[in-house]
């Protein structure tokens, strides 16, 4: 019996080894992603230098005409006060003057800021409207940073939009505080994190709740006019959020947008009436918005914002042009600084708006041009100083470019100094000097834009190499996993030991040299150290005559489809069109599977082999399906794919495309009848999804036990569906609720989603606690039809003992149950509750996926429930199609073909797009952060990030957790075959001769998933191989994104297309890998529970 004890320990450790091996492989991918990210998405160096009045920006004296003036800094102040009204997401066309009397009804936002147009027409020398060109990313925190520092935010800063940190660079707020100006702020609380303690008086309001259109704006209006009338301020900043939130919730074309803009128009009128002559009014938008109301990217509508300037005194010598001038948004920073008599912030690269320094309509042309040249020269000196300081601290800029810019600035500065000595010089010289200074400023800004995307090529190459090595490991290990001699321990323990040793050596070297410990570098060193022994073993075990083609076990058609998908990642056009390319590839693979089944004659259930008593095996053939079986499955799959494609979101790069209106929430619909019909359809989809799951579980006998998980499926799932439907009803009609019920509606809107999530969590806990529910009511005195033979005495003491007797026990239960049915047929129906062991693993997986689906569905808009229904139906059809061509050998080894894994991964990607997502930041569904939290999250950032992430990567999570179904479903489909065997032609006589011999096998129930327990080693190996194959398919996708971003890092669309695609693919891989580990762990938990149940059954049989 000693070998049994050794086998027990080995089999128990084998399950743990599978999870640990997959976790180690995931760590290799994580380390590669982190290393590449640290080299690709770097932030620029933020200098802490500050400008001051005591330190001029460059050599030379103050501009002509300002020497010795009281209060003069770099230039004399023209205004002593400024009112900055920041209307979040004020797109340029929202403020653009309208020539026609009535704007079209489809564009309700046009002409609502009529006060701007009236001022421009009646006081043309006092006001200007500009089209401000915004630098992406167009998120609020980055725009506020640019509007106060005059610098350019980098791409990675977009991730900090909801975790803003204090600005360390020189900025306007800091300069105002240094000059002793009183700053009063009211509005978006993002300013509190960016400028802590910088305001003499502040009224902050929470900004993240995009469903709330009025709280922030009404709070500002409560304090705005009293503060202005008090006069206890020098700078008044009001940051309104209603327009931005209205865009997020309803879009710019909704009537609510017209109401919000009209409200802002009244605010502007009230401010204009209260302005004094020494006050400048600035009305600005921080960014625009897309046609769907989102922002974050760099489309034309997102980067086009309004900028309006007004003063009671004349500002401009001429009238406004017909078309507003286009200026960089950061030009506002140096302009405001000089107009207020402040130093320009040290890191500014913006260009002053020169016409604001002309002196008004009564100024002389020569003095006006000289004043503009003076402002431009101060601006150029400041930018030149910054470039020299920055280039000395870093190596971002090329020497050639710096020398060219320096020569340009030297010439313009020399010409300007000549003008100062000859104030009566020609006007043409003034225009030339101004043009040269503007050319330098614009050239400097262009150089910064080009070179601030600095990369660490070493880290990028290291990350790509590590990802490639991890993919290579997955491919090789997936081939070795089915071998009985697969070295679990040597390929797990030894690499871990090497990796830990490598990380310790690296940390010691960094500590002794005084360098900073970098967690990313340590993780990469640990990953490389753990990979070395594996690569060494692979190289040492490679035979000299072994062909290299064996390295690619993927079938050629599948490999071709995979290569086509990966090659598309290197083209920005194909990445943009991936929402259409993915369903096409999935449909091609489905057709390929159908044709392959016809061609190879495999239009049948799996080639099942029954296991006779005591474990001896003999093959048993089963009849084929009709030739239309897989064809019907394929047609159904293609139809589901096409229907799911109707829920699409168009990329912003395809203006001719129109996003599906079904992605919008029901609350955005105007017609009550249409809203009710859609609500009924959504609830119908919810009921259909619940009914389908319950019917499936009932079909396999998984709803006949009084155990807690089964009771929860019976009653808990309907309660979750009822809570979801009630929440949809409240969310779609919250605005229409009577005022006395709005508090109740708001409370219910918070409680219902939390209740659904709580029920789902309770169901998952019950499932993990009791994943196997079996109830067999043996009748009194029922004769035994079979004796369980065991080579041991007493209860089973090892896993090997259980694996020996489990098939006998299962067959014994089936025969006893069938005998009781025959004995009681004349007495009426027999009611026996049995939880079918043949579907024990699949039932747990389907239940877990359903429990996960309900909370994820809540995070989406109501009509996405139709997509979830299609998702489950599509998965069901695909699993049946894949099972139709998968032979199931017994007792093993078991394997999942590459075409099944590839189709599963493609369907996950297709569902990502069908739920209204795109791999770009403007397409993120921010509303998910407020499901269950309508009042916001306070200062918490991890919870809204978790909710938004769950919404974005719901398809990745569901398909990854459900990945083990690819292994289980062919066994489950064994029950679909006829119970009586048909004999091939020519064997009828033989069948007649042996009727008694076959009588016992004709009506036998199939073992289905219990076959997996007959070979536990093959079961564990199959799970490992499945996990490795799925990680390989996902890994090569992230590797292709990494290579595309590396090769095309200077491409025009790198930050618009390739970088967001890499980020979404990396996050999707992390979510998918975690979901895969959870799914395999659930199968192993069920397997352990089955072992415990059988152990108890054996004990009861022997008493």
614 class by beta-carbon count within 10 Å (0-12 exposed, 13-18 middle, 19+ buried)? exposed
What is the mean pLDDT of the segment spanning 1058-1085?
94
- What is the model's pLDDT at position 801? 58
- What is the model's pLDDT at position 1076? 96
- 1101 has pLDDT over 80: no
- Choose the weakest-confidence range: 17-26, 253-262, 633-642, 921-930: 921-930
Residue 205: helix, strand or coil by DSSP? strand
Q: How far is CA 513 from the centre of its chain?
A: 39
pLDDT-derived band at 987, boundaries 50, 70, 90: very low
Out of 208-222, 465-479, 974-988, give the one with best mean pLDDT.
465-479
Cα four-point dihedral sign 17, 18, 20, 21: positive
How far apart CA 140 and CA 811 sit, in angstroms, is 66
- Over the stretch 339-378, which tens digit does the pLDDT of each residue have? 999 999 998 989 999 888 877 666 677 777 888 888 999 9
How far apart CA 260 and CA 112 sit, in angstroms, is 9
How far apart CA 1000 and CA 157 sit, in angstroms, is 71
How far apart CA 130 and CA 602 sit, in angstroms, is 69
pLDDT-derived band at 247, boundaries 50, 70, 90: confident
Q: Under a CB-based contact definition with an 8 Å cutoff, are residues 602 and 623 in contact?
A: no
pLDDT averaged over the chain?
A: 80
- 609 has pLDDT over 90: no
- 63 has pLDDT over 60: no
How far apart CA 390 and CA 382 sit, in angstroms, is 12
What is the mean pLDDT of the segment spanning 1046-1075?
87
How far apart CA 434 and CA 429 sit, in angstroms, is 9
pLDDT-derived band at 764, boundaries 50, 70, 90: very high
- Choose the weakest-confidence range: 521-535, 638-652, 1002-1016, 1074-1088: 1002-1016
Q: Which residue has the higher pLDDT, 953 or 141?
A: 953
Strands (E), 919-1043: none
Q: Which residue has the higher pLDDT, 906 or 112?
A: 906
- What is the model's pLDDT at position 284? 94
Tokens 């202005």, located at residue: 228
- Choose the weakest-confidence range: 154-163, 573-582, 795-804: 154-163
- Over the stretch 65-121, which tens digit does the pLDDT of each residue have? 444 444 468 888 889 999 999 999 899 989 888 876 676 766 888 888 889 989 998
Residue 45: helix, strand or coil by DSSP? coil
Contacts with 862 (C-beta within 8 Å, 6 or more apart), sequence order = 665, 666, 678, 679, 682, 728, 731, 732
- What is the model's pLDDT at position 993? 37
Q: Under a CB-based contact definition with an 8 Å cutoff, are residues 498 and 79 in contact?
A: no
Q: Which residue has the higher pLDDT, 728 or 479?
A: 728
Strands (E), 815-885: none
Q: Which residue has the higher pLDDT, 597 or 757?
A: 757
- Choose the weakest-confidence range: 4-8, 113-117, 243-247: 4-8
- What is the model's pLDDT at position 630? 79
Residue 302: helix, strand or coil by DSSP? coil
- Choose the weakest-confidence range: 339-353, 414-428, 763-777: 414-428
- 988 has pLDDT over 80: no
pLDDT-derived band at 976, boundaries 50, 70, 90: low
Q: Which residue has the higher pLDDT, 518 or 829?
A: 518
pLDDT-derived band at 612, boundaries 50, 70, 90: very low
- Choose the weakest-confidence range: 221-235, 371-385, 800-814, 822-836: 822-836
Tokens 């033979």, located at residue: 789
How far apart CA 461 and CA 39 sit, in angstroms, is 9
Residue 130: helix, strand or coil by DSSP? strand
- What is the model's pLDDT at position 450? 74
Q: Under a CB-based contact definition with an 8 Å cutoff, are residues 849 and 1079 in contact?
A: no
- List the strands of the sheet with 81-87, edge to edge: 201-205, 183-188, 235-240, 81-87, 279-284, 304-310, 127-133, 326-328
- Over the stretch 286-303, which tens digit does the pLDDT of each residue have? 988 888 888 777 778 888
What is the mean pLDDT of the segment spanning 506-510?
76
- What is the model's pLDDT at position 789? 47
- 64 has pLDDT over 50: no
Selection from 585, 715, 649, 1070 nearest residue 867 by Cα: 649
Residue 52: helix, strand or coil by DSSP? strand
- What is the model's pLDDT at position 605? 43
- What is the model's pLDDT at position 608? 38
Q: What are phi and psi of 309, to 5 degrees?
A: -120, 140
pTM value surpassing 0.95: no
pLDDT-derived band at 960, boundaries 50, 70, 90: very high
pLDDT-derived band at 548, boundaries 50, 70, 90: low
Q: What are phi and psi of 74, to 5 degrees?
A: -85, -30
3-state SS, one letter per residue, for 660-691? CHHHCCHHHCCCHHHHHHHHHHHHHHHHHHHH
CA atoms within 13 A on the CB side of 945: 10
């Amino acid at each position: 019996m000693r070998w049994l004890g050794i086998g027990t320990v080995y089999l128990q450790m084998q399950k743990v080894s599978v999870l640990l091996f997959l976790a180690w492989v995931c760590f290799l991918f994580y380390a590669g992603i982190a290393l590449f990210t640290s080299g690709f998405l770097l932030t620029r160096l933020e200098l802490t230098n500050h400008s001051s009045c005591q330190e001029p920006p460059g050599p030379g004296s103050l501009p002509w005409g300002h020497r010795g003036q009281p209060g003069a800094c770099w230039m004399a102040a023209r205004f002593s006060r400024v009112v900055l009204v920041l209307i979040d997401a004020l797109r340029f066309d929202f403020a653009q003057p309208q020539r026609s009397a009535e704007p079209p009804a489809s564009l309700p936002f046009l002409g609502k800021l009529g006060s701007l147009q009236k001022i421009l027409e009646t006081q043309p020398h006092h006001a200007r409207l500009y089209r401000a060109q915004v630098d992406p990313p167009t998120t609020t925190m980055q725009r506020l940073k640019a509007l106060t520092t005059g610098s350019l935010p980098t791409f990675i800063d977009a991730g900090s939009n909801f975790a803003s940190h204090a600005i360390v660079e020189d900025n306007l707020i800091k300069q105002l505080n240094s000059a002793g100006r009183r700053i009063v702020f009211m509005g978006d609380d993002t300013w509190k994190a960016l400028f802590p303690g910088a305001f003499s008086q502040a009224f902050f309001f929470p900004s993240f709740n995009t469903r709330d259109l009025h709280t922030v704006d009404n709070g500002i209006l409560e304090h705005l006019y009293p503060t202005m009338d008090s006069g206890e301020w020098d700078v008044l900043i009001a940051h309104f959020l209603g327009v931005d939130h209205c865009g997020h919730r309803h879009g710019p074309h909704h009537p609510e947008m017209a109401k919000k803009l009209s409200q802002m128009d009244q605010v502007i009128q009230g401010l204009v009436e209260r302005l004094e002559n020494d006050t400048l009014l600035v009305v600005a938008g921080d960014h625009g918005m897309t046609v769907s109301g989102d922002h974050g990217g760099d489309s034309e509508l997102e980067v086009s914002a309004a900028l309006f300037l007004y003063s009671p005194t004349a500002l401009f010598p001429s009238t406004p042009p017909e078309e507003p001038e286009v200026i960089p948004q950061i030009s506002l920073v140096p302009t405001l600084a000089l107009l207020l008599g402040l130093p320009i912030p040290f890191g500014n690269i913006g260009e002053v708006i020169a016409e604001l320094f002309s002196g008004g309509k009564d100024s002389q042309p020569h003095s006006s041009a000289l004043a503009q040249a003076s402002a431009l020269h101060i601006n150029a000196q400041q930018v030149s100083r910054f470039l020299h300081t920055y280039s000395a601290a870093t190596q971002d800029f090329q020497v050639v470019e710096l020398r060219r810019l320096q020569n340009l600035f030297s010439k313009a500065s020399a010409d300007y100094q000549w003008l100062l000595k000859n104030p009566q010089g020609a006007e043409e010289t003034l225009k030339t000097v101004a043009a040269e200074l503007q050319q330098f400023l614009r050239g400097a800004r262009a150089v910064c834009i080009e070179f601030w995307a600095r990369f660490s090529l070493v880290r990028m190459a290291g990350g790509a190499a590590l990802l490639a090595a991890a993919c290579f490991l997955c491919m090789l290990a997936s081939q070795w996993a089915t071998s009985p001699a697969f070295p679990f321990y040597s390929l797990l323990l030894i690499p871990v030991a090497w990796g830990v040793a490598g990380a310790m050596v690296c940390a010691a070297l960094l500590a002794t040299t005084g360098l900073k410990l970098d967690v990313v570098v340590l993780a990469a060193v640990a990953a490389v150290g753990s990979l070395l022994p594996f690569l060494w073993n692979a190289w040492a075990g490679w035979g000299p005559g072994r062909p290299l083609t064996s390295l690619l076990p993927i079938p050629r058609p599948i490999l071709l489809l995979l290569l086509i998908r990966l090659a598309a990642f290197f083209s920005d056009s194909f990445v943009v069109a991936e929402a259409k390319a993915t369903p096409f590839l999935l449909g091609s693979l489905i057709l390929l599977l159908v044709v392959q089944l016809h061609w190879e004659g495999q239009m049948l259930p799996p080639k099942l082999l029954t296991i006779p008593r005591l474990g001896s095996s003999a093959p048993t053939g089963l009849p084929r399906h009709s030739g239309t079986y897989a064809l019907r499955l394929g047609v159904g799959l293609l139809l589901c794919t096409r229907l799911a494609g109707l829920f699409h979101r168009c990329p912003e790069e395809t203006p001719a495309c129109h996003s599906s209106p079904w992605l919008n929430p029901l609350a955005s619909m105007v017609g009550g009848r249409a809203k009710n019909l859609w609500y009924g359809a959504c609830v119908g989809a919810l009921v259909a999804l619940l009914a389908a799951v319950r019917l499936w579980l009932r079909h396999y006998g998984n709803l006949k036990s009084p155990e807690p998980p089964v009771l929860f499926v019976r009653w808990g799932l309907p309660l979750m569906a009822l809570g979801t439907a009630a929440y949809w009803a409240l969310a779609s009609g919250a605005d229409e609720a009577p005022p006395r019920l709005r508090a109740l509606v708001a409370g219910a809107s918070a409680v219902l989603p939390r209740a659904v999530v709580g029920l789902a969590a309770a169901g998952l806990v019950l499932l993990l606690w009791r994943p196997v529910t079996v109830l067999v009511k043996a009748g009194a005195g029922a004769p035994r039809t079979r004796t369980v033979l065991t080579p041991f005495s007493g209860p089973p003491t090892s896993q090997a003992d259980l694996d020996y007797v489990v098939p006998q026990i299962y067959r014994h239960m089936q025969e006893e149950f069938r005998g009781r049915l025959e004995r009681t047929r004349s007495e009426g129906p027999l009611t026996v509750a049995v939880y079918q062991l043949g579907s024990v693993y699949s039932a747990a997986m389907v239940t877990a996926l359903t429990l996960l689906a309900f909370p994820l569905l809540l995070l989406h808009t109501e009509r996405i429930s139709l997509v979830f229904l299609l998702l489950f139906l599509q998965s069901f059809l695909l699993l049946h199609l894949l099972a139709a061509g998968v032979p199931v050998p017994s007792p093993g080894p078991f394997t999942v073909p590459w075409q099944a894994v590839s189709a599963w991964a493609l369907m996950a990607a297709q569902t990502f797009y069908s739920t209204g997502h795109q791999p770009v930041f403007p397409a993120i569904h921010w509303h998910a952060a407020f499901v269950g939290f309508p009042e916001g999250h306070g200062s918490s950032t991890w919870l809204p990030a978790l909710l938004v992430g769950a919404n974005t990567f719901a398809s990745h999570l569901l398909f990854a957790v459900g990945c083990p179904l690819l292994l289980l479903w062919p066994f489950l489909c064994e029950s679909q075959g006829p119970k009586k065997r048909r004999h091939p032609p020519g064997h009828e006589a033989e069948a007649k001769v042996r009727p008694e011999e076959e009588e016992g096998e004709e009506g036998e129930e199939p073992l289905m998933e219990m076959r997996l327990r007959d070979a536990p080693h093959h079961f564990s190996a199959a799970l490992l191989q499945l996990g490795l194959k799925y990680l390989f398919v996902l890994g090569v996708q992230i590797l292709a994104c990494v290579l595309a971003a590396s090769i095309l890092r200077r491409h025009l669309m790198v930050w618009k297309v390739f970088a967001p695609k890499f980020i979404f693919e990396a996050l999707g891989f992390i979510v998918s890998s975690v979901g895969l580990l959870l799914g395999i762990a659930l199968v192993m938990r069920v397997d352990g529970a089955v072992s415990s149940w059988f152990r108890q059954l054996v004990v009861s049989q022997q008493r």
